[in-house]
A and B are shown apart, each in its own frame.
Chain A
Amino acid sequence: MTILYGATLAVIAAAGLLTLLRLVRGPLALDRIMALDVLVTMTIAATAVGAVARDDTTAIPVLVVLALLAFIGSVTAAHLVEKREGMR
């Protein structure tokens, strides 16, 4: 099972790196917001796998916080983008 957890974490980390590339490239602010949102989701997934792998459930409440943060953050940022574009 340890190999499985390691492989899962590696694949999620690779996905996170690809998402990071999109975060750097942009080109719009919206793309970055979306990439950050996906990155937080992948952090949740990786944290869950890590909690199982280390048999340590202290990190479970963090998942709820991250889920809330990702949603509020991306919605607020998207609203800001819309406002900023609308003012031009």
Chain B
Amino acid sequence: MTTVLNAVTAVLFPAGAAFCLLGALGLLRFPDTTSRLHAAAKAQTLGLLLVLVGAAAQMPGRHAPVLLLVALFQLFTAPISSQIIGRTAYRTAGLDRDLLLRDELADRLVRDGIPLPGHDRPQRDDDAER
């Protein structure tokens, strides 16, 4: 039993850590906020989930529900915060429209006569100047 649990941890810990590293790499290298969001979500959900399952395999059984709670909470909240950050990015300067193949929301906004957001915004976070 212990051997099986050790094997589970030995597989899941490196896998989770690798997802964290790949997510961080994507966060660093991707060109705009929305594409970085995509990489960040991998580290936030898969990376953490794999590590938590690996940790649960090594702990006394009574700690498993707490880890499950953390995993479930992360699974429920990561899409919500991603969606809110993505929406804010769309409405502000976080979206590089030249990289898009298709922007269906913009088609709709143009059809409804709503001005497209994010065209006259400054490209940098200029907190220091305000």
> Could you tell me which A residues sit within 8 Å of B by CB distance?
1, 4-5, 7-8, 11-12, 14-19, 21-22, 26-35, 37-38, 41-42, 44-45, 48-49, 51-52, 57, 60-61, 63-64, 67-68, 70-71, 74-75, 78-79, 81-82, 85-86, 88
Contact = CB atoms under 8 A, between A and B. Distances in A.
Given A4-B10, A45-B47, A57-B63, A78 B85 contact: yes
B20 A42 contact: yes
Nearest to A29: B125
Interface of B: 6, 9-10, 13-14, 16-18, 20-21, 23-25, 27-28, 33, 36-37, 40, 43-44, 47-48, 51-52, 54-55, 58-60, 63, 66-67, 69-70, 73-74, 77, 80-81, 84-85, 87-89, 91-94, 121, 123-125, 127
From DSSP, what is the main secondary structure of chain A's interface residues? helix
8 contacts: A18-B28, A21-B28, A34-B37, A34-B85, A41-B43, A41-B44, A41-B74, A52-B59
Contacts of B33: 28, 30-31, 34
A49 B67 CA distance: 12
A29 B66 CA distance: 33
Contacts of A1: 6, 9-10
Given A8-B17, A15-B20, A28 B93 contact: yes
Nearest to A28: B125
A85 B70 contact: no
A18 B25 contact: yes
Contacts of A81: 88, 92
A17 to B, nearest CB: 8
Nearest to A80: B88
Contacts of A82: 87-88, 91-92
A37 B44 contact: yes
Contacts of B67: 48, 60, 63
